[in-house]
Structure 1
Amino acid sequence: MRAAALVLVLSLGGAALADAPSQSLRPIARAGVVDIAPPAVAQGGLRGLFRSLRPQPRSARVEGQARATRAALQRGAVCGDPDLQGEAVGPVSGQMRGCGIDQAVRLKSVAGVRLSTPAKMDCGTAKALKTWVERGMRPAVGSHGGGVDSIRVMASYACRTRNSQKGTRISEHGKGRAVDIGGFALRNGTEISVLQDWGRGREGRILRKMHRSACGPFGTALGPEANRFHRDHFHFDTARYRSGSYCK
């Protein structure tokens, strides 16, 4: 029985060997197909790539200039804000009852925009002016004339009554809470004038946007249409009213 089984196995193996293919079963490459080798990475290529992505350190000269600029801004800063450049004045007393400023500053520039003449005011008004310059004045002018170079200040602190009229209350100017602005010098040498340009063309539209945007940062925003006393300037002050800002 075992012998018969052995004979059967050998016969089957022989048949399998007889039927084996004459060639290997490995796939044969098709004609016209080109082998694509993986791209070779140059020696140190990845290392060089990582080096190029790393930020380059600033030179000692550039770093020194930046430090000097920051130090200069800090020295000239008032109201604890480097964007408000000027000098501290301290308490200011007035000749009339109701005038004066507890802690006055003499402001020379606001958010990088020069004032034509230093303006004396309190810190609350200086900060309101900065807010308006950044959120109102600059967006209104945009790139027109290259942008605003300086603000023409007509009045700031002055111990007087409202509109210098007898029998009226002390003006916000007499409390260091007001600034009057007559125009804006642009970087191309031209000027936008409240007196000359209000209601006229593109400059007139810019002035209206400026006036409108002051309503909020300031408690009072008066322009040429308020009354005859303001036909040539904007009057902005930080007086606060229960009914909200007064703008005209």
Structure 2
Amino acid sequence: MVGARFAYLAALLAVVVCVEGCGGGGVPYEERAAWRDKTEAQCLAAGYVRASAYVQNASRVSGPSACGIGAALKVSGLNGGRVAVSPPATVNCPLTASLDRWMQSSVQKAAHRQFGQPVVGMRQIASYSCRGRNGSRRGHLSEHAYGNAIDIAAFRLANGREITVVKGWWRGDAREKAFLREVFTGACAEFYTVLGPGSDRYHYNHIHVDLLVTNVSKGRHYCRPVLRDGLFAAAEGDALSTASIKPIPFVGPPGGE
């Protein structure tokens, strides 16, 4: 009797575990949307990102649930290798193209304007990772689970100075704050979701960018916190409209290439 009761409880526990993380590996279950593989294939076919010493083709990435990248890239540099990405990021083609454009059109211009020199390095703390949003075992998969997102923690200037998001955002000097405001605003024009310190407790030390197309399909970019009067302010329910921010579609050649 005791053995039968133990077996019943063990089976019941297994069902509960499956309900909470039935995607396998403790991640939410999600169907893979057709647009993901389609946009990857379009980007590669058009040649907007080409293999090089700093953008290398990697093996196809797959995991439980819908996790994976159809044509994974290992990116160790942007803008023709002039900006090192450390550690190398595993991401998809569309995100790589957008990072390249953003680096040249926003980040480098902001660096020259504020510091009189270019950015030569970018430190990232999360690229591909098969997990739920904010690590949750319920709800939706994170865009990191598709190689469609990256978390940026710092930028390095040519003179070796590092501007970190965790320090510069709130406690940096005037130029550091202005630089981060400019790169964040530029990210909101290039990417479809952008989250920084003040958006929630999960993004206190980095800027998260991704290309979740369902955001722009609704006519809006999702950017937090919102910039008002030159200052960041987290405002529940606010979003940036494409009427005021014009996105640059990923289907365009990387700047300077």
What is the TM-score when the length of structure 1 is the normalising length?
A: 0.65
Q: Specify the code of the residue in structure 2 equivalent to 1:128.
A: S
| Larger relative contact order, structure 1 or 2 (CA cutoff 8 Å, min sep 6) | 2
Aligned length: 170
Q: Deviations over 1:59-90 (max 9, x none)?
A: xxxxxxxxxxxxxxxxxxx9643788321013
Instruction: Identify which of 142, 164, 183 aligns with 2:112.
Output: 142
Instruction: Identify which of 41, 55, 71 aligns with 1:103.
Output: 71
Cα distance in 2, alignment partners of residues 133 and 217 from structure 1: 10
Q: Specify the code of the residue in structure 1 equivalent to 2:99.
A: L
1:243 aligns with 2:219: yes
Q: Deviations over 1:98-120 (max 9, x none)?
A: 21011110001000211111100
8 Å contact from structure 1 (residues 84, 126) kept in 2: no
The alignment yields a C-alpha RMSD, in angstroms, of 1.8
2:55 alignment counterpart: 86
8 Å contact from structure 1 (residues 120, 156) kept in 2: yes
The answer for unaligned runs of 5 or more in structure 2 is 1-46, 225-257
Distance 1:145 1:139, change over 3 A: closer
Cα distance in 2, alignment partners of residues 202 and 209 from structure 1: 11
8 Å contact from structure 1 (residues 182, 194) kept in 2: yes
Instruction: Identify which of 186, 195, 204 aligns with 2:157.
Output: 186
Q: State the 4+ residue runs in structure 1 displaced beyond 4 angstroms.
A: none
Instruction: Identify which of 89, 97, 103 aligns with 1:127.
Output: 97
1:211-222 alignment to 2 at 5 Å?
A: 211-222=184-195
**Offset of residue 243 of structure 1:** 2.6
1:41-60 alignment to 2 at 5 Å?
A: none
Distance 1:205 1:80, change over 3 A: closer
SS state of the match for residue 134, structure 1? Answer: helix
8 Å contact from structure 2 (residues 49, 97) kept in 1: no
1:116 alignment counterpart: 86
SS state of the match for residue 138, structure 2? Answer: coil
1:164 aligns with 2:132: no
Cα distance in 2, alignment partners of residues 213 and 163 from structure 1: 24
8 Å contact from structure 1 (residues 87, 107) kept in 2: yes
Cα distance in 2, alignment partners of residues 122 and 192 from structure 1: 26
Cα distance in 2, alignment partners of residues 92 and 245 from structure 1: 28
Cα distance in 1, alignment partners of residues 52 and 104 from structure 2: 11
**Offset of residue 190 of structure 1:** 1.3
8 Å contact from structure 1 (residues 145, 187) kept in 2: no
From the CA coordinates, give the structure whose radius of gyration is larger. Answer: 1
8 Å contact from structure 2 (residues 195, 223) kept in 1: yes
Q: Specify the code of the residue in structure 2 equivalent to 1:110.
A: L
Distance 1:80 1:222, change over 3 A: closer
What is the TM-score when the length of structure 2 is the normalising length?
A: 0.62
Cα distance in 1, alignment partners of residues 49 and 96 from structure 2: 11
**Offset of residue 145 of structure 1:** 6.3
Cα distance in 2, alignment partners of residues 174 and 153 from structure 1: 16
Distance 1:83 1:202, change over 3 A: farther
Q: Specify the code of the residue in structure 2 equivalent to 1:211.
A: F
Q: Specify the code of the residue in structure 1 equivalent to 2:192.
A: G
8 Å contact from structure 2 (residues 51, 57) kept in 1: no
8 Å contact from structure 1 (residues 84, 110) kept in 2: no
Q: Specify the code of the residue in structure 2 equivalent to 1:149.
A: V
Q: Specify the code of the residue in structure 2 equivalent to 1:165.
A: S
1:4-23 alignment to 2 at 5 Å?
A: none
